[in-house]
Amino acid sequence: MTAQRIDGKAFAATVREKVAGHVARLKEENDIIPGLAVVLVGEDPASQVYVRSKGKQTTEVGMNSYEHKLDVETSEADLLALIDQLNNDAKVHGILVQLPLPKHLNENLVINAIDPAKDVDGFHISNVGLLGTGQKSMVPCTPLGCLMMLRDHHGSLSGMEAVVIGRSNIVGKPMAQLLLGDSCTVTIAHSRTKDLPEVVRRADIVVAAVGRPEMVPGDWIKQGATVIDVGINRIERDGKTKLVGDVDFASCSESAGAITPVPGGVGPMTIACLLANTVTACCRANDVAEPEGLTA
């Protein structure tokens, strides 16, 4: 079998189109412009690229983008004061603090200082609890993007065996909660899992979020399974730098029924879901009907 390629780039474009349509309606019918504030502390090159890309895509869908670039030495008190100001700013519907933060800042403290209703990354402890108990929450962007692609491909996920490899707070755990919410039978595998190949072979859906280049070979994948590759790993091959995922795309394509490529799979969906979360947060804040299909 040669797997169908799930085109995250094209799907992300349709999500952005939906968001843009809703933003236009909010402007026309309610005189509201959704606004996203992104806070970057320091000059980490990868974070700078992400923040620039987020700002550009935010304005492209018609929303306001507010960028706050702070010095690497910024104190926790100053950062918390900025978050407080953004929490109280009615023009700001979403707040994202770009991670990782410099070592002297307590990430949990900072994230939990964001108003949960504006926490478009879905990392605030209240949103984690709401998601875990099946209540309406802000959902972390990367797993939300994975869920959207899976629903689009399969329709219902009910009763499917899902294996999530990785138990991080930003991808693995929320991904497992979302799959459980869609009635999958979910296993979370991690670095201490015994006989990982056998666990993965059970899965109708495999989500790999590990951060190890091409660690999942094709013979771990059940015939016809759907493989969602979250990993983004930079490797040197044939003297060139290349981006690869956590699964070996070539061999997994032989056994899977469908698979996301890297790049062009989960990656583009993450920012699209950030925009979706911002418009959702704006609708909730203003008691306006939420767009359909943009939340979990």
Whose structure tokens read 């189109």?
17
Using the minimum distance from each CB to ligand NAD, give the nearer residue, 75 or 169.
Answer: 169
Q: Work out how close the CB of 282 gets to ligand NAD at its nearest, in angstroms, rounded to a whole number.
A: 23
Q: Are strands 233-237 and 205-208 parallel, antiparallel or unpaired?
A: unpaired
The catalytically annotated residue of 18, 57, 119, 121 is 121
Q: Which stretch binds ligand NAD (CB under 6 A): 64-72, 80-88, 130-138, 227-235?
A: 227-235
Residues listed for the chain:
296
C-alpha to C-alpha distance for 127 and 19, rounded to whole angstroms: 22
Check binding of 185 to ligand NAD (CB under 6 A).
no
Residue 98 appears among annotated catalytic residues? yes
Among 226, 270, 277, 278, interactor with ligand NAD by CB under 6 A: 270
C-alpha to C-alpha distance for 74 and 65, rounded to whole angstroms: 22
C-alpha to C-alpha distance for 141 and 127, rounded to whole angstroms: 13
Check binding of 53 to ligand NAD (CB under 6 A).
no
Using the minimum distance from each CB to ligand NAD, give the nearer residue, 64 or 106.
Answer: 106
Among 231, 257, 261, 291, interactor with ligand NAD by CB under 6 A: 231
Check binding of 52 to ligand NAD (CB under 6 A).
no
Q: Which stretch binds ligand NAD (CB under 6 A): 51-59, 225-233, 275-283, 285-293?
A: 225-233
Among 196, 199, 243, 285, interactor with ligand NAD by CB under 6 A: 196
Residue 121 appears among annotated catalytic residues? yes
CB atoms within 10 A of CB 53: 12
Burial category of 253 from C-beta neighbours within 10 Å (exposed 0-12, middle 13-18, buried 19 and up): buried
Q: Tell me, what amino acid is at 234?
A: R
Check binding of 190 to ligand NAD (CB under 6 A).
yes
Q: Please list, residue by residue across 123-137, b when 16 or more beta carbons sit within 10 angstroms of its beta carbon and e when fewer do.
A: bbebbbebbeeeeeb
Q: Which stretch binds ligand NAD (CB under 6 A): 113-121, 127-135, 152-160, 191-199?
A: 191-199
Among 48, 112, 233, 251, interactor with ligand NAD by CB under 6 A: 233
Among 61, 230, 252, 281, interactor with ligand NAD by CB under 6 A: 230
Check binding of 116 to ligand NAD (CB under 6 A).
no
Contacts of residue 87, defined as CB under 8 A and 6 or more positions apart, other chains included, come to 95, 113, 114, 115, 118
Beta strands in the chain (DSSP E): 4-5, 35-41, 64-70, 94-97, 161-165, 185-189, 205-208, 226-229, 233-237, 240-244, 258-259
Q: Work out how close the CB of 47 gets to ligand NAD at its nearest, in angstroms, rounded to a whole number.
A: 13
Check binding of 147 to ligand NAD (CB under 6 A).
no
Q: Rounded to the nearest 5 degrees, what angle is found at the Cα of 203, between the Cα atoms of 147 and 257?
A: 75
With CB under 6 A as the rule, give the number of residues binding ligand NAD.
Answer: 24
Q: What are phi and psi of 275, to 5 degrees?
A: -65, -40
Using CB under 6 A, list all residues that contact ligand NAD.
Answer: 142, 165-168, 170-172, 189-191, 193, 196, 209-212, 230-233, 266-267, 270
